[in-house]
Amino acid sequence: MSENASKPVLYFKKACPFCLKVRLFLWEARMMEEVEIRECEPGSKQESDIRAELAGHLDKVSFPAARLEPGRYIADSGEIIALLAAKSGCVPADMPVLASYIEGALKPMMKLWKENLELKAAAA
């Protein structure tokens, strides 16, 4: 078995803010070498191939997603981080870069995104 066969595989989509959250966790936990990352360009053939693979294992395909071991897939950035953290014994809540991204960028971005949706719906 190759070394990569035993590593969790992470599926990222370029420019996905939730994928960046997982990347920051990996970097801050010094786990970049412990996973294999497959990142796709939105709209690419690689994205279609990854979606086809994930669709066979997840109720709903979303990015990021992870294959923790053969046949065991999960999606949701928080869940992926929690499982990788448990594996390595690190505590995401104690990671200042990750916390700063979640609280300082991701949450406000999601709030604006939701407000934008509501405004569009009200204007329609």
Ligand X SMILES: N[C@@H](CCC(=O)N[C@@H](CS)C(=O)NCC(=O)O)C(=O)O
Which residue's structure tokens are 């992926």?
80
Q: Which residues pair with 10 in a beta bridge?
A: 37, 66
Nearer to ligand X, 5 or 108 (CB): 108
Distances (CA, A) of 51 to 24, 42, 58, 73, 112: 23, 11, 10, 12, 28
Picking from 79, 109, 107, the residue whose alpha carbon sits closest to that of residue 92 is: 79
Interface with ligand X (CB under 6 A), residue from 44, 48, 78, 105: 78
Question: Which residues sit opposite 85 in a β-bridge?
Answer: none
Q: Which of 10, 16, 66, 81: binder of ligand X (CB under 6 A)?
A: 16
Please choose, out of 11-19, 29-37, 84-92, 108-116, the segment that lies near ligand X by the rule CB under 6 A.
11-19
Is the Cβ of residue 5 or residue 55 nearer to ligand X in the bound state?
55
Q: Regarding beta strands 36-40 and 9-13, do their DSSP bridges make them parallel or antiparallel, or are they unpaired?
A: parallel
Q: Footprint of ligand X on residues 17-76 (CB under 6 A)?
A: 17-18, 61-64, 76
104 binds ligand X (CB under 6 A): no
Binding interface with ligand X (CB under 6 A): 13, 16-18, 61-64, 76-78
